[in-house]
Structure 1
């Protein structure tokens, strides 16, 4: 029986980072190849933030993992339980849940849940000929980034209408969701049922648009505003775009700056208003601000798509910090917690 170890001072992600860094670059890279983008980003961030980890702490993390392997392996425990136990111990409950879903649930999912495991282009091909209301329900059920990419692969003439339908979607009856789930099961494999009927709404529409390319976002919003100006305005109020960072307080900007690379910041600021640039400069040391100005001045012409990509990356970090309560984002409709 494995002995109990004292509670670690590191978070689950940090323990995972310590464990992987102790394996060496080649082995760590092999493990990361089996993880999704979000998991890789979180563990990568933990790796980058770790400083002065003592040999004692490394030994404790390795002992924890070794104890679990010795305790669980070949004792008749089910494979699924073994995976859950190892991941939760190595990564912590919160971090492990998403990975457990990806490993254990994704392989057997059906219906709506199964769509989350498909490439957005494949999802678009599957639903493009369905009734627009069905498509809106499906898009509302997906994660915003996957939904945005799926929407971009659907015909342009449908996109504004779908955002309107998503924004006005006020929940779906469980029976209707179950029926849709069964329809999709005939095209997919696995097993799962809808967990919630609370999908759709103005916030969902805004979240999806936040992940769209700027040009497509503008086209879609123009179409929405033409049909329903009040609804379009409500959607815009819930959206948070790069220029809105000027409304974030100084402490929030400083927190954000610690999370982003200089290369991304330079690219993003190439397309920013002077007011936002000045705010960024004010929240840096004098030397750092001078270097950033020099980088901006010496940076040659860049593609608009590269600027938009950098801005989207920074916005994704800002939303993550807002979700964890570290900063407050002030959107077009005023200051709000996202």
Structure 2
């Protein structure tokens, strides 16, 4: 048997954990970091039998130390932010996470993965091919796709080839790469207005009437074709639903929109809008689709403004679902 005097602090911790494991209501050890979990398990592997007197002495020492504690702190960023909760502003929380990632105190990849596509594209064009290949391997598929298609064709080929060599990278090396990329991203000039002008104009035109939208786009085509192309890519209207919305997300959309609004939108007479209506109906259950068709027929001839307002509400619902990560819109086609 192992005597009390021979126990190290880690072994005493192992004894306490072993005693607590008999309690079915004990919380998991997942609150410990991986290094602490590993050390604890290693200590337990090397221990066999602890006598009753030693066990009681360790428990008494543990309880005495608990009673002498006045206040505790989480000891890490995530725990501290959880403790402060809403008392800390979102700006301050984000700044703390950013500082921790840049200094190597936290995993840099979560911050890299939420960078705007424009920032990621700049990194992909300026950093070494090997680093870019690792970045593409870690980014969410949607972001990686947006970055990849924006690369010059020659560079895209080289990056694709380099991705074949990413499987052997170690976690420490991957963290160092993420740190280098994040530090590079932080040195990029920050625009005073975060949302690109074309995206903002596109978002505004999403809710404009069709004649106003066409008039503005026509003017932009004449005066600034490049800006107009960017605005067109940012626009998402009812007619784009078949090419941008996944069929599996249609039922979710119909639950988000009031049925009367949806029926009016499905009554759109224009060819492109009618195709979008057919797409929605074809991706619903037969019973639901038939109910909506009957309601559309009973509607008669609604006013064009009511139809357009309803289509706008459907588009707004899709945007809400996208913003809350309940669906992901497909990238617009180049010729859209």
Tell me the TM-score normalized by structure 1.
0.39
User: Whose Rg is larger?
Assistant: 2
Tell me the TM-score normalized by structure 2.
0.40
